[in-house]
Amino acid sequence: METAFAATSTTAIAPTKNHYVILDGLRGVASLMVLAFHLFEPFSNENPVKQIINHGYLAVDFFFMLSGFVIAYAYDDRWTRMTQWEFYKRRLIRLQPMVIMGSLIGAALFYFQKGPVFPLIAVTPVWKMMLVMVVGCTLLPLPISMDIRGWQEMHPLDGPAWSLFFEYIANILYALGLRKLSKRALSVFVFLAAILLVQLAVFGHRGDLIGGWALNTKELHVGFARLLFPFFAGILLCRLGARIQLKGAFGISSLLLVVALSLPRFGGTQHHWMNGLYEAFCIIVIFPIIVAIGAGEKRVDGPSIRVARFFGDLSYPLYITHYPLIYIYTAWVVIDKPTLAQGFLPELLVAIAAIAIAYASLKLYDEPVRRWLSKRFLAKQGRV
């Protein structure tokens, strides 16, 4: 199981600033790649070499980099007129409503996932599942002793919430003081974070960056290694003014991202370091280029901009609500063992259902709730 998302949208940007719509669109492209990765993942039989969209889990690192870039753009120049608490309120209003929805959907579908793939579900009483749901709504991580599925997830009802937990940590670190770092000091910090990332990717025993969703020493090491470089590299990119202006920026950057997340695993089962080197290269070199291309687009309208805006709106709801369906789908694939061709129609139906649930959640719940919360808790400052 691998999930990844950091939900920072350019809708967080002050009204007087232009939005990076292409960056929002790239979040949408990456979210769709995560959905596709999870749909194909059960067919690999836990063999990473056989995974069809092999590096889909790197979407987490890309999301974190986007998040850092947009956080810096939206908030770096506002700290003289904004308190830490106001910053935290804005981030909670942006993220927390859909965290709650993901936990509720996970609870609603939990017992439909019962079977040999998830043996703990059959022996989990309703009160314990409800307790896990309530804790999931807060985004507080659960210890392994509270696992009710068997995958040791810190959020067993909605696995992808683990990356939002790290997103919150990154936001807190930024607000507490790392935002005050000069460009030189931030460059040193990012360089050291890159060493931590390379150490894990290249010299780790797996040769990849899969992990981060469990509350133990090993997985926390993975989670922080994946968080610190991309998030703060995104901040540094913004402060350095990294922009690449290209015609057709959304198409070019989307293609680069899809290819980077889809290439086969390198080195096979013998040379894990080769795959780790590729993944480190993607995060340290390719992803900054993609972000710079997306940030270089100045247009605010046009067919590609409208597509990017739609993808951006859908991205966070799709990411945080799709995985309860994936649990059910994974159990079916593991038990019935369909071929890839036999699984095509169910895959398509799950994808359509996931997108429909995400869009309904966005329009009927997330947007209205965030509007109400903004009016209730931010209007007094005159900056809704």
Cβ atoms of residues 157 and 106 within 8 Å: yes
Predicted confidence at residue 303, as pLDDT, reads 85
Predicted confidence at residue 17, as pLDDT, reads 65
Written as six digits, the tokens of 291 are 């972000």
Q: What is the pTM of this model?
A: 0.93
Predicted confidence at residue 161, as pLDDT, reads 97
Task: Pinpoint the alpha helices (H) of the chain.
Answer: 21-40, 59-75, 84-108, 126-138, 161-176, 183-203, 217-240, 249-262, 272-281, 287-295, 303-321, 323-336, 344-361, 367-377
Cβ atoms of residues 99 and 137 within 8 Å: yes
pLDDT digits (tens, 9 = 90+) for 103-129: 999 999 999 999 999 999 999 999 999
List the chain domain ranges.
10-381
Amino acid in the structure at residue 318? L
Could you write out the DSSP letters of every residue in 147-206? -SSSS--SSTT-TTHHHHHHHHHHHHHHHHTGGG--HHHHHHHHHHHHHHHHHHHHHSSS
Under-70 pLDDT residues of the chain: 1-17, 379-384
Written as six digits, the tokens of 324 are 């309860």
Which residue in the block uniquely carries the two structure tokens 């950091």?
6
Cβ atoms of residues 303 and 15 within 8 Å: no
Predicted confidence at residue 1, as pLDDT, reads 55
Task: Pinpoint the alpha helices (H) of 177-286.
Answer: 183-203, 217-240, 249-262, 272-281
Cβ atoms of residues 231 and 170 within 8 Å: yes
Predicted confidence at residue 224, as pLDDT, reads 98
Amino acid in the structure at residue 264? P
- Helices 21-40 and 344-361: crossing angle in degrees, nearest 10, is 140
How many CA atoms, within 13 angstroms, populate the side-chain half-sphere of residue 228? 22
Written as six digits, the tokens of 140 are 């507080």
Residues found in the chain: 384
pLDDT digits (tens, 9 = 90+) for 56-98: 999 999 999 999 999 999 999 999 999 999 999 999 999 999 9
What are the two backbone dihedrals, phi and then psi, of residue 91, each rounded to the nearest 5 degrees? -70, -40
